[in-house]
Amino acid sequence: MGLTFQKLINGSQSSEVNATLPWQVAFYDPGPPPVVADVLTSAQRGAFYQEIVKLSDIRQRLDARSVLVSPRKRLGVGDVRLATSFGIYVVLDDDPEGLRMASSGTDVGEVNSRFVEAVLKKRSRRVASDCRSAIVGLLREKWLTPEELVSELNLSFDDRTVFSQLRSLARCGTVQLLGRTVKGEGVYGLPGILYPVRGDLSRLSKLRHLKSSVAGLLASCGRPMTSAEISERLNVSKHQIRSLLRKLANERKTIRTNDGWIFLGK
Tens digits of pLDDT across the chain (266 residues): 456 666 665 555 678 999 999 999 988 888 889 999 999 988 788 899 999 999 999 999 999 999 999 886 678 888 999 999 999 999 988 888 999 899 889 999 999 999 988 888 877 888 899 999 999 999 999 999 999 999 999 988 989 999 999 999 999 999 999 989 999 999 999 987 878 888 898 988 888 888 888 888 888 887 888 888 888 887 778 888 888 888 888 888 888 888 888 888 66
Going by the DSSP 8-state scheme, the letter that residue 95 receives in this structure is -
DSSP helix/strand/coil, 116: helix
Q: Any idea what the Cα angle at residue 163 is, between residues 213 and 153, rounded to 5°?
A: 85
The helix (H) or strand (E) run that includes residue 217 is helix 203-221
Verdict on whether the full-model pTM lies above 0.75: no
β-strands 35-39, 65-70 pairing: parallel
β-strands 15-18, 22-25 pairing: antiparallel
DSSP helix/strand/coil, 48: helix
pLDDT of residue 8: 64
Q: Any idea what the Cα angle at residue 71 is, between residues 112 and 3, rounded to 5°?
A: 65
Q: Tell me, which fold does domain 5-106 have in CATH? A: Rossmann fold (3.40.50)
Same CATH fold assignment for domains 5-106 and 194-266: no
pLDDT of residue 172: 93
R_g (Cα) of the chain, nearest Å:
31
* Domain boundaries along the sequence of the chain: 5-106, 194-266
The helix (H) or strand (E) run that includes residue 85 is helix 77-85
- Using an 8 Å Cβ cutoff, are 149 and 138 in contact? yes
Distances (CA, A) of 85 to 91, 108, 253: 15, 9, 71
Distance CA(41)–CA(30), nearest Å, equals 24
β-strands 22-25, 27-29 pairing: unpaired
Closest by CA position to 199, among listed 212, 213, 214, 187:
187
pLDDT of residue 128: 92
Among the four given CATH numbers 3.30.450.40, 3.30.1490.190, 1.10.10.10, 1.10.10.60, the one describing domain 194-266? 1.10.10.10
Residue type at position 19:
A
Distance CA(225)–CA(244), nearest Å, equals 14
- Using an 8 Å Cβ cutoff, are 171 and 150 in contact? no
Distance CA(122)–CA(119), nearest Å, equals 5
- Cα-flanking dihedrals φ and ψ of residue 246, to 5°? -65, -40
